[in-house]
Structure 1
Amino acid sequence: MIGRTSMSDRHLDRRTVIKAGGLALVGLGLPGCSARTPPPAAPSRPMVELVPVNASWGRVLRTTVGLRPHRPGGFVVRAEKLDARTVVHDYGHGGAGHSLGWGTGALAADLAVAHDGRHAAVLGCGTVGLTAARQLQRRGFDVTIYTEAMPPHTTSNKAWAGYTPSSGLIAVGRRNPAWDAQFREAAEIGYRELQRMAGTNRGVSWVDSYGMLNDLREPREGRGESTRPRDPLMPAHLLTPPEMLGPGEHPFPSTYAARAPMLRIEPSRYLDGLTRDVIAFGGRITLRKFETLRDLMTLDESLIVNCTALGSRELFGDTELVPLKGQLTHLAPQADVNYSTMGGLPGSQNGLGIHMMPRSDGIALGGTSERGIWDTTPDEDARQRIVTGHIELFNAMARPRTGSAAAV
């Protein structure tokens, strides 16, 4: 990960994808005092057959940059009075907006129910604004979204968008029991909603995600140590235990591979579907920018749900919000690739912190996380590292046997 984060303000970054996607590799393949496992046994299962990504510079389509709305104290869901109006805040999701939007939207909508009226203004039309609007509609609200940009021109369209509910979300040391409870409820709701949408042609589906490692580490005997943190942020039942594949059982250029199912969200299809749903259930979308709180006083609605992400820094004065600059490079689509990867060629500097997710509109290669950088110009050094790292990885993968299935 590229970053400018100090030790006192470290956030949960893209590495948590491995945990949230089910690859709970804490303590695996990392240097430390633990004893090495015995040499790997002969393969007991057939080789997993996967078609490598055809990664090359000639297949690069575009590079995009999005600014994740990171708040060291975590996302905000709370209500406050603004003169005669009620404002319900729902912002600060870091890199977890797609994962948590349905959940924090439900929490925000439940707060809105206490308001007398049933006409709501939602500020923002990214994944958080759209899911909040749908949760309000489910509770009987008449909703108008006010936004500066609509899909496909939102930051949400530039997300990697796996199920990563703790990505870039909260600084180490800033958690507290009340916030943890709120997060876990939001994560539960979000996970349930996304599962319901999987397989419905709505841009949500399951893929197997693979992480690579060259050796396994065991906990010290007699100390009761575990490879899982003592107080994990994620609810345990949302973490799918990884299946460890040994030599001869996987095609990756590593001794072991960890495989687990992961929810994939394709932003272009997913956000278009949410937009259509909001309109189909009577919602309206108005293009409008708000410069000051005084501008909000001109709205007809007395209930306002704030989903402006980084915009809340200027509009509502939340200076705790900072951008995490994230960059993706997209390759041409490849229909026979339907798995994701975390990490690159073991031992290569280009493989640190990279990840791949296939979509119907292209193959997304990431990634970066640069704290405090507002510039949305692609970083060429990062682009070179990410693409080169994936070229190295997929060139080193074993090819499927002739006539074999694309994946087992």
Structure 2
Amino acid sequence: MPIELDVTPSAPPFAADRLSRRGMLGVTAGGLLASGCATTSTRTTAARSACLPPVHASADRVIRTVAGLRPFRPAGFRVEREALGETALVHNYGHGGAGITLSWGTSRLATALGLPGHRGPVAVLGAGVVALTTARLVQEAGYPVTLYAEQLPPHTTSNIAGGQIHAYGHFDSDAVTSEWRAQLDAAYDYSVRRFQIMAGDEYGIHWLPTYVGGGSRGGPHMPDFRILDRSEHPFALDSVARYQTMYVETGRFLRTLSRDIQIAGGRFVVRRFAAAAEVAALPERLVFNCTGLGAGALFGDASLYPIRGQLAILLPQPEVRYAYNGAAGYMFPRADGIVVGGTYEKHVADPTPQPQDIADILTSMNGLFSGFRCS
């Protein structure tokens, strides 16, 4: 029975089939100097920029380990409308490793498919980031909304996400169409703009400089990208680039967005759907499917499969105000702890962190930061 809630480089790289989530890519403004890095008026800006506080990635600083399952489709996310009996069903799922990044954008595409001409209340399936952004856009268009989900925040896959605004690992290049790429561009542009106007402590969205280890090229949505001189960074790597992007504290963001939905009259109903016929029986005649991996069984999408990503959360280091991506893994600093990862394990459906994999992540991070040179 449904329950309605009334809530007022010395480190060894990862193996090729378990690459760091953002291993080939790479932001926080200001305050890059650690308290232990002496500066004088005669030092150059480049030298001061090279003085970054290292992350202490020892096992005794781990406060949590988690593993999330990314809902991956080779053909990329699915935003498509179809009829389910008398119900209009709009799909919005399959974002792979880009769920946070593309959430606002694909939700805008989905609502543009579903809302025109519709009258009456709207249902959203799911309570992860894509479901929440879809619900919020439905409300902004003036419709009442109910979200039906088996799990609510903080127990969703979105809560585990690292939160970097940079799309990664969400399609196979030989499986997508030019039409889908146009959707991707539109979704990316809108999402970035939407996150920009929400930046700040309330939603837990902040800009950080991101350092990228290894060969990398700039691209769209990578402001201020450039290859650094050796004097401009402390990493013991042959090639390092830096650019700016936003990071989302996923727990705070999901919690605050859920609050916004409730303040605007939205309802959350805890419910599991075993078959599409149960969705068709809902009183709402327009339903947005934002169930992520659940869409595979519920709506028969055989192309959808999980990619597991494991990470560890370390004790916070407020002085660390930069992020890192590279072959050694990734590091994203947040108020709730420093996130280090990760793995990219295709077709692995067990959401349990593996001790040896977590140990490998820490070893890799320690190798990266122990080689720091503060010029």
Give the shorter-chain TM-score range.
0.7 to 0.9
2:264 corresponds to 1:281: yes
- Provide structure 2 residue ranges, at least 5 long, that are not aligned to the other structure: 1-13, 28-43
Contact 2:69–2:309 (CA under 8 A) maintained in structure 1: yes
Q: Which residue of 2 aligns with 1:85?
A: 87
TM-score by length of 2: 0.87
TM-superposed CA distance for 1:396, in Å, is 1.7
What CA distance in whole angstroms lies between the structure 1 residues aligned with 2:20 and 2:110?
23
TM-superposed CA distance for 1:17, in Å, is 4.1
TM-superposed CA distance for 1:13, in Å, is 6.2
Q: Which residue of 2 aligns with 1:162?
A: 164
Contact 2:22–2:330 (CA under 8 A) maintained in structure 1: no
What CA distance in whole angstroms lies between the structure 1 residues aligned with 2:132 and 2:108?
12
The aligned amino acid for 1:203 is G
Q: Deviations over 1:136-193 (max 9, x none)?
A: 111111100001111110000111110122x221112112111011110000000100
SS in 1 for 2:296: helix
Greater shift in the superposed pair: 108-117 or 174-183: 108-117
SS in 1 for 2:359: helix
TM-superposed CA distance for 1:376, in Å, is 1.4
What CA distance in whole angstroms lies between the structure 2 residues aligned with 1:177 and 1:248?
42
Choose which of 302, 309, 320 in structure 1 pairs with 2:285.
302
Contact 1:95–1:164 (CA under 8 A) maintained in structure 2: no
Q: Deviations over 1:64-90 (max 9, x none)?
A: 011000000111111110111000110
- Provide structure 1 residue ranges, at least 5 long, that are not aligned to the other structure: 6-10, 22-42, 218-226, 229-235, 344-351, 401-408
Contact 1:63–1:330 (CA under 8 A) maintained in structure 2: yes
SS in 1 for 2:232: coil
2:175 corresponds to 1:174: yes
Contact 1:3–1:370 (CA under 8 A) maintained in structure 2: no
User: Identity of aligned pairs, percent?
Assistant: 38
Contact 2:20–2:329 (CA under 8 A) maintained in structure 1: no
What CA distance in whole angstroms lies between the structure 2 residues aligned with 1:117 and 1:316?
25
Choose which of 247, 261, 277 in structure 2 pairs with 1:264.
247
2:188 corresponds to 1:187: yes
SS in 1 for 2:48: coil
TM-score by length of 1: 0.80
What CA distance in whole angstroms lies between the structure 2 residues aligned with 1:330 and 1:250?
24
Greater shift in the superposed pair: 254-263 or 106-115: 254-263
Q: Which residue of 2 aligns with 1:40?
A: none
Once the two structures are superposed, the pairs formed by residues 8-157 of structure 1 within 5 Å of their partners are 14-15=22-23, 17-18=25-26, 45-48=46-49, 49-157=51-159
What CA distance in whole angstroms lies between the structure 2 residues aligned with 1:177 and 1:160?
29
Contact 1:17–1:164 (CA under 8 A) maintained in structure 2: no
Q: Which has the higher contact order (CA 8 A, sep 6+)?
A: 2
TM-superposed CA distance for 1:45, in Å, is 2.9
Choose which of 322, 329, 342 in structure 2 pairs with 1:367.
342
Q: Which residue of 1 aligns with 2:333?
A: 358
Contact 1:13–1:169 (CA under 8 A) maintained in structure 2: no
The aligned amino acid for 1:258 is A
Closer/same/farther in 2, CA of residues 336 and 4 from structure 1, 3 Å limit:
closer
Once the two structures are superposed, the pairs formed by residues 387-406 of structure 1 within 5 Å of their partners are 387-399=362-374
SS in 2 for 1:376: coil
Greater shift in the superposed pair: 105-114 or 73-82: 105-114
Q: Number of residues paired by the alignment?
A: 345
2:274 corresponds to 1:291: yes
Contact 1:242–1:260 (CA under 8 A) maintained in structure 2: yes
What CA distance in whole angstroms lies between the structure 2 residues aligned with 1:280 and 1:17?
38
Q: Deviations over 1:10-29 (max 9, x none)?
A: x99634643xx8xxxxxxxx
**Moved segments of 4+, more than 4 Å:** 1-5
Closer/same/farther in 2, CA of residues 69 and 178 from structure 1, 3 Å limit:
same
Contact 2:313–2:337 (CA under 8 A) maintained in structure 1: yes
Contact 2:68–2:310 (CA under 8 A) maintained in structure 1: yes
The aligned amino acid for 2:208 is V
